[in-house]
Chain A
Amino acid sequence: MKSRNVATYGMLIALAFILSYIERIITIPIPIPGIKVGLANLVVITALYLMGPKQAFVLSMIRILLVGFTFGNLSTMLFSFAGGILSWILMVLARKIQGLSMTGVSILGGVGHNVGQIAVAMFVVNSTTLIYYLPVLILAGLVAGTVIGILGALLVSSLKHMH
């Protein structure tokens, strides 16, 4: 089981890398650096359902660090961390709700990701004015989360067959 896990980890991180790269190419008209579509969340939620919350968290942090050092810088990592942590908390909690499928969990993950980033941005510039961006970002997170939720379900089921 362990070697399978390592292999799965490796594959998921590689996937995260690719997704992060794709994310950088897609630009959103919201001028806050560090705001991303949250594609990499796909990897985290897959890990969450495939392996468990702890592994998902570890994966998320590794992903942020590696991607941050490769593509971004220290300050963008800060936003990624904030988004990642809030997103993870919400997803773990959401998963416990009966009747909520992976899509619903992913939605909360996506929204949480963006809210976390805005919260940190507000803290960094020491200004509350950024809160006006929140509605748009929540909508973006909702959309991304839905898409990822569906993709994630597909990914999880195909990976489960491999186990």
Chain B
Amino acid sequence: MIKKKDLILAAVILIIALLAVIMITFTKVEGGEAVITVHGKIYKTLPLNEDDIVTVEDESGHYNVIEIKDGNVTMTEANCPDILCVKHRSIHYNHESIVCLPHKVVVEIQAGEENNIDAIAK
């Protein structure tokens, strides 16, 4: 039933997938901003260091509520049929994302601009 070639195939796929997972885990960097896109177009960009609540709504009444609190981003509310987006855990690392497929809403964490000035001496 299981032959040698199967094992090789499984091993190759396993290695590739594991490597990808390891790479992604080890290059995890804190994000700087949350970029909300609707149908692929950027709707709003929010800095992660400011608490905020944003509601994305379209003409047909589909809405998603995105909240930034303490540097974490969650989808707190939505009226899509599966609300998988709401069930998603909070995100804050670069490249993490929460997707609401039915509404085509994506919240992605990106690096954001480097803080240029930390303070001003007066």
Residue A7, interface by CB 8 Å: no
Per the 8 Å Cβ criterion, residues 138-154 of A in contact with B are 138-139, 142, 146, 149-150, 153
Interface size class of A (residues with CB under 8 A): 20 to 34
In the complex, the answer to whether B13 meets A111 with C-beta atoms within 8 Å is yes
In the complex, the answer to whether A99 meets B85 with C-beta atoms within 8 Å is no
Given A104-B6, A146-B10, A150-B1: A75 and B101 within 8 A (CB)? Answer: yes
Chain B residue, CB-CB nearest to A35: B84
Residues of B within 8 A of A97 (CB): 5
Which secondary structure dominates where chain B touches chain A? mixed
Measured in the bound complex, the distance between the Cα atoms of B14 and A104 in whole Å is 13
Measured in the bound complex, the distance between the Cα atoms of B21 and A135 in whole Å is 6
Interface size of B by CB at 8 A reads 37
Smallest Cβ distance from A32 to chain B, in angstroms?
6
Per the 8 Å Cβ criterion, residues 53-101 of A in contact with B are 73, 75, 97, 99-101
A24-38 near B? 1/0 per residue, CB < 8 Å: 000000011110000
In the complex, the answer to whether A132 meets B10 with C-beta atoms within 8 Å is no
In the complex, the answer to whether B95 meets A100 with C-beta atoms within 8 Å is no
Given A132-B96, A146-B10: A99 and B3 within 8 A (CB)? Answer: yes
In the complex, the answer to whether A107 meets B104 with C-beta atoms within 8 Å is no
Residues of chain A having any CB pair with chain B under 8 Å: 31-34, 73, 75, 97, 99-104, 107-108, 111, 121, 124-127, 129-130, 132, 134-136, 138-139, 142, 146, 149-150, 153
